[in-house]
Amino acid sequence: MKVLVPATTTNLGAGFDVFGLALDLFNEVEFSFDTKETTIESTGKYASDLKDHNLFFEVFRFFERKTGYRVPPVRIKQTCNIPVSSGLGSSAAVIVAALHIANEGTGRNLSREDLMKLAVELEGHPDNVVPAFTGGLVVCYQNGSHLDFEKFEIDLSLTFLVPNFPVCTNEMRKILPEKVPFEDAVFNIKNSCQFLAKIAAGKIKEALKYVGDRLHQNYRINGNKKMKEFVEAILSKNPEYWFVSGSGPSVCSNINDFEGIPYLKDVLKLRVNNRGMIVSE
């Protein structure tokens, strides 16, 4: 059996912890239960960037605690096509794949909605894991255990600049302030609402004019020396739009001149994936 889980980008600037977008770049995970011991093998472009496979085991144990079902031994072969610790949902892809595997191995007792709620609880926020399941642009709402979202299918291509250094999402969240100026909150409300209005009206490219942010990006950029140099070099190219992908360090921008950008490792031109996770026997 095989499951393909897409990369995701979140926030899209103004929509902090609300907007999530699935992309047409997938981690491929083949798995089989004809084994006596759980083994995990990773190949692919970004396999060497993985420190360990502990997240798979963490998800399996979490699944067992929450459901009471025991995940049987499984042989896993993962092809890592999503950059690791780069703000493109590599951890979310593992969580979604591992929950699917756990559910398959225990009799398919949980629905997609059940698995999604477990993924959100484990990840801590919905904007990566939900679009990984559903595809498309997802507008998420979470209040305690209550989860709601709406999906928009859109036709859009985006360019992501991926640097050669990772960042830790948890560390980047610690950088964020407990309070922000009132005018900064209003700025983000205006932009996120106008972004969504353009999407709803089918004016997809116009929506990208409204990705401006004052709630999180500057704090994260200024809190990491390499990331600051990386973003400043991108901004020197005068892009029409830009935003930090997730908590970074990757940046989405429409620039075409990449010369002189420090730390640049990859340029990924990706389309929106409206299908989400793909499962095959």
Q: Is the dihedral of CA 69, 70, 74, 77 positive or negative?
A: positive
Helix or strand or coil: residue 117?
A: helix
For residue 207, give both structure tokens: 């929506």
246 is in an annotated binding site: no
End-to-end CA distance of the chain: 4
Token readout for 127 is: 């904007």
Q: Which two tokens stand for residue 240?
A: 């029409």
Does the annotation place 253 within a ligand binding site? no
For residues 166 and 85, what is the distance between their CA atoms, to the nearest angstrom?
5
Q: Is 91 marked as a binding-site residue?
A: yes
3-state secondary structure of 72: coil
23 close to 9: Cβ distance less than 8 angstroms: yes
**87 labelled as ligand-binding?**
yes
Angle between helices 112-123 and 54-67 (to 10 degrees): 120
Residue 84, annotated as binding a ligand: yes
Asked whether residue 92 is marked as a ligand-binding residue, the answer is yes
Tokens standing for 215? 């709630």
Instruction: Please indicate if the annotation marks 89 as binding a ligand.
Output: yes
Single-letter residue type at 187 = F
CA distance 150 to 131: 10
Burial code of 210-232, b = ≥16 C-beta within 10 A, e = fewer? bbbbbbbbeebbebbeebeebbe
What SS3 class is residue 224?
Answer: coil
Question: Known binding site for ATP: residues?
Answer: 83-93
Question: Known binding site: residues?
Answer: 83-93
